[in-house]
Amino acid sequence: MSSQKVLNAIIVCGPSGVGKGTLLKRLFDNFGSRFAYSVSHTTRAPRAGEQDGREYHFAKREDVIKMRDNNEFLELCEVHGNFYGTSIAAVKAVQEANKTCVIEIDVQGAEKVKQLSAPTHGDATGIQAAYLFITAPQEELEKRIRGRGQDNDEMLQKRLATAEKEFAFLEAHPNFFDAVIVNDDLDASYGRLVDAISAEFVKHSIPPLYAARPTATRNAVHLNKIQIKKHNFYL
C-alpha cells in the first residue's frame, strides 16, 4: 500500500498586482465543487466591495494577537503594518468539506507552512500542499499596482519593495515552488494554472481538472499523462 499523502492544499503566492485574485476567481467559478478558500484573518481595513468572512475575516489587532498567543494560526505575518494570518480552524473547515484548500499567502507564510509540514517537524499541520507562485512582467506589474488607484505614493513604494523581496525569494529558492506561472495573458495564464494544479493532482493520484481553454487546440484539458520537472518549472 502506498504511503503517499493526499494532496489537500494549494498554496498560492505572488506580489500584489500579479492577478492572483482574478485567476483564482475563475478557478472557483469553474471548479467550485473541488476547491474552497481558507479565509484569512487580517487587521487591515476592508476595501470597497470586500465582505467580512468572504475575502478576509477583518479583525482587531488585539484579537489577532490573542489568537496568535493561543497558537490558533497556521501562519501569521505582518505586512505593511497589518497582520495577515491563516487560522488552523479555517483550513480544517475546508478539509472537513472534502475540498482542496486554497491558501493565498505571501512567501513568508508559505515558508512557515512548508517548515511546519515537514517530517522533521512531525508534520504538525496535516497539510500536503502544492506550492505555486504567480508573477507578471515587471513593467506590467508596476502598471497594475499604480492603476489600482488605492494607494498613496508611500504605500505604492512599499508594495513595489515587497514585490522585489518576493522575486528575490523566488530567485534564491528556485526549488521551493512546484510551478511558477507568468500572468501575461489572462486566458493563457488561467490555462497554465489549471495545467499546474492538474499535474500536482496526477502526482497524488487525484483526478485532474477539465476546463474550457480558448487558447487550446482542443476543447478541454485532461492532463493525466503530463510529465513535469519540479526544478525551474516556469509556465
So what's the pLDDT on residue 138? Answer: 80
- Which pTM was predicted? 0.81
C-alpha cell at 151: 494607494
The per-residue b/e assignment along 95-118, b for 16 or more CB within 10 angstroms, e otherwise, is: beeebbbbbbbbbbbbbbbbebbe
Q: Which residue has the higher pLDDT, 104 or 213?
A: 104
Distance from C-alpha of 140 to C-alpha of 138, rounded to nearest angstrom: 5
* Confidence tier at 118 by pLDDT (50, 70, 90): confident
So what's the pLDDT on residue 58? Answer: 98
Furthest C-alpha separation in the chain: 57
Average pLDDT of 92-110?
A: 93
Beta strands in 70-190 (DSSP E): 73-79, 82-87, 100-104, 129-135, 179-182
**Secondary structure of residue 132 in the 3-state scheme:** strand
So what's the pLDDT on residue 231? Answer: 32
Per-residue pLDDT for 78 more than 50?
yes
Kindly tell me the sign of the dihedral angle through the C-alpha atoms of 105, 91, 119, 112.
positive
Closest CA to 77 of 106, 115, 38: 106
Per-residue pLDDT of 139-191, as tens digits, reads: 788 788 777 666 778 888 888 899 999 999 999 999 999 999 999 999 999 99
Residue labelled with grid coordinates 492603476: 147
Whole-angstrom CA distances from 162 to 22, 82, 113, 165 are 20, 14, 20, 5
Residue labelled with grid coordinates 500542499: 129
* Mean predicted lDDT score pLDDT of the chain: 83
Per-residue pLDDT for 29 more than 80?
yes
Per-residue pLDDT of 91-100, as tens digits, reads: 999 999 999 9
**Helix, strand, coil % in the chain, rounded to nearest 5:** 40, 20, 40
Q: Which residue has the higher pLDDT, 20 or 212?
A: 20
What domains does the chain contain, in order, with CATH numbers? 9-38+98-204 (3.40.50.300)
* Confidence tier at 211 by pLDDT (50, 70, 90): very low
Per-residue pLDDT for 227 more than 80?
no
* Confidence tier at 66 by pLDDT (50, 70, 90): very high
Count how many Cα atoms sit within 13 Å of the Cα of residue 224 in the half-sphere of its side chain: 7
